[in-house]
Amino acid sequence: MQTRRIRTLHTIIILLIIVTIISLTFAGTMGLLYVQKVEEVSQLQGEKELVFTDQTLPVLSVDVENRTSDNQEPGMPNQDLSVSTQDSEAVSGAATAGEDSMGDADAATIAALMQSKEAEVEQSIKERMKALVTGEDGSPLKMLRSFFPENLIYSFEEEYVFAPVLEGVNKHNLLAENFQKTEEGLMQYVENGIVTSHKGIDVSKYQGNIDWGAVKEEGIEYAFIRLGLRGYESGKLVLDEFYDANMKGANSAGVGAGVYFFTQAITVEEAQEEAAFVIQNLANYQVSCPIVFDVERISGGKGRADQLTQEQRTDITIAFCEAIKAAGYQPMIYGNVVCFTRLLDMTRLNGYEKWYAFYDDYMYMPYDVSCWQYTEKGRVDGIGNNVDLNISFKTW
C-alpha cells in the first residue's frame, strides 16, 4: 500500500513539473513574439523616416515679433517655431537612431529576463516541494494540500482523493498563523496576544474512572461525554457504562458537559429513535454543551450503515439534529475530512454546528466549525489513559 502511495505521489509531482515547464515555455514564447514585434515596429519606423528625409520640405517661418498665431497654446508665448529642412532631417535621424537602439536593448533585456525568471520559478517550485516533504512536520499530503488549496485532499482506501471545496458551504475566518502550540503540546488560538479558544476533552468508558476535580484544575472548560451507541452489527441501542459517573463527575466539578452518540442508523426512523434515546438519558443532568451526532464509519470492521448513500446519510443526520433541536438542546455533527466531503452533503447542513477531527498541528478544514479535535493522545491530570483534546472557538 505504501509503495502505491509513493508511486501516486511521484506521478503527481511529475505532472506538476510538466505543467510548470509548459507554462514557462508558453510565457517564453510570448516573450519572444513580443521581442519580434518590437523589432518589426522599429524597422518600419526607420523606413518611414527614410521616406520623409528623401522628400524636400518647405521652410516654415513665423515672425513672432510682429504677429502671434491664433492657435498658439496657452502658457507658451514667444516660442521660436522656425524649423529648417536640414534641422528636421537631423532631428528625425536622431530620433530614428534612438528608437532602433532602444528596441535592440529592450529585446536583449526581455530575453535575458525571461531566461532568468524561468530558472528562478523552477528552482522556487523545487525548493517549496522539498521543504514541504522533508520538513520536521512535512508529509506528501501536506505538500499536495499546499499546492491545491481549492481541494480537500486525503487518503482513502489506498488512494489520494481531491475533493472540491464547495461554494455553498459556510466557511470560517480563522487564520492559520493564529494557531499556536504551547510547550506542553496544547493547541490554542491566539488573537492580538489573547487566547480566544477554549480547552476541552471528550471521554468514554475507555478513559476509565476520572478524577473530575483534577480535570477542572487542569483548566479543562468542557467535556463531550459519550452517552451511547448503536451496535454496528446488531443495531441495538447501548448506553455507555461510564456515562452516569462521567456526567455526575463533570457536573459536580463545574466542567461544562455535552454528550455524543455514535450512530449506525440506516433510516430516518432509526435516527429519530436514536434521538429519543439520547433525550431520555439527558433528563437527570446539567447539559450546557451541544448534543453531538457522530457519523464516522466503523474502523476495522463493516458497519450496517457503510452502504448508505450521501443523500441517505444526510437525511438521517438532519432527522437526528431536528429532533434534538425540538427538545430544546443544541445539535452538533461530529466528523473527519471523509465525513465532511464524502459521507455528508455539507451544503444541506449549514444550519448545524460542526465538530471536526483532524490530528495534526494545523487545522485542515475551510468549512465553518465550532470545535476542533486535534489529538487522540492527550494527557490530562485526573485521567490515567490518553484522551482526545479539543479546542472550541466559542462557548455554550
Rounded CA-CA distance 353/290 in Å is 9
pLDDT band of 104, cuts 50, 70, 90: low
Confidence (pLDDT) at 83: 37
Confidence (pLDDT) at 103: 61
pLDDT at residue 37 above 60? no
- Reported as a single tens digit per residue, the pLDDT across 311-334 is 999 999 999 999 999 999 999 999
Confidence (pLDDT) at 23: 66
CA dihedral 356, 361, 364, 366 (to 10 degrees): 80
Average pLDDT, the chain: 82
**Considering only CA atoms, which of 370, 360, 365 is closest in space to residue 392?**
370
CA dihedral 135, 140, 141, 144 (to 10 degrees): 100
| CATH superfamily label, 171-392 | Glycosidases (3.20.20.80)
- Reported as a single tens digit per residue, the pLDDT across 186-236 is 999 999 999 999 999 999 999 999 999 999 999 999 999 999 999 999 999
Confidence (pLDDT) at 233: 93
Type of residue found at 354: K
* Residue 33 vs residue 325, higher pLDDT: 325
Taking residues 31-54, report their average pLDDT: 53
User: Is the Cβ–Cβ distance between 153 and 141 less than 8 Å?
Assistant: yes
User: Is the Cβ–Cβ distance between 178 and 189 less than 8 Å?
Assistant: yes
pLDDT band of 124, cuts 50, 70, 90: confident
Domain assignments of the chain as residue spans, ordered by start: 2-64+78-147, 171-392
* CA atoms in the 13 A half-sphere facing the CB of 334: 24
Confidence (pLDDT) at 140: 79
Q: Where is 121: in which H helix or E strand?
A: helix 85-134
Residue 118: strand, helix, or coil: helix
Q: Which long-range contacts (CB under 8 A, 24 or more apart) does 321-327 make?
A: 321/293, 321/352, 323/271, 323/272, 323/275, 323/276, 323/279, 324/275, 324/278, 324/279, 324/291, 324/293, 327/275, 327/279
- Reported as a single tens digit per residue, the pLDDT across 55-99 is 443 333 333 333 333 333 344 334 333 334 444 443 344 333 334
Confidence (pLDDT) at 188: 98
Confidence (pLDDT) at 251: 98
- Reported as a single tens digit per residue, the pLDDT across 240-278 is 999 999 999 999 999 999 999 999 999 999 999 999 999
Q: Checking DSSP bridges between strand 353-357 and strand 331-335, what pairing results, if any?
A: parallel
**Residues forming a β-bridge with 161:** 154
User: Is the Cβ–Cβ distance between 252 and 285 less than 8 Å?
Assistant: no
The three grid cell numbers given for residue 15, joined into one nine-digit string = 505532472
pLDDT at residue 337 above 90? yes
Q: DSSP string covering 204-273, please?
A: -GGG-S--HHHHHHTT--EEEEEEEEE-TTT--EEE-TTHHHHHHHHHHHT-EEEEEEE----SHHHHHH
Type of residue found at 298: I
- Reported as a single tens digit per residue, the pLDDT across 130-162 is 665 555 555 778 888 988 999 999 988 888 899
Rounded CA-CA distance 186/377 in Å is 11
Q: In whole angstroms, how far apart are CA 45 and each of 97, 104, 106? A: 10, 14, 16
Please report the sign of the dihedral spanned by the C-alpha atoms of residue 262, residue 266, residue 268, residue 270. Answer: negative
Rounded CA-CA distance 77/125 in Å is 61
Percent of the chain with pLDDT over 90: 60
pLDDT band of 356, cuts 50, 70, 90: very high
pTM: 0.70
Mean pLDDT comparison of 34-48, 98-112, 161-175, highest-scoring range? 161-175
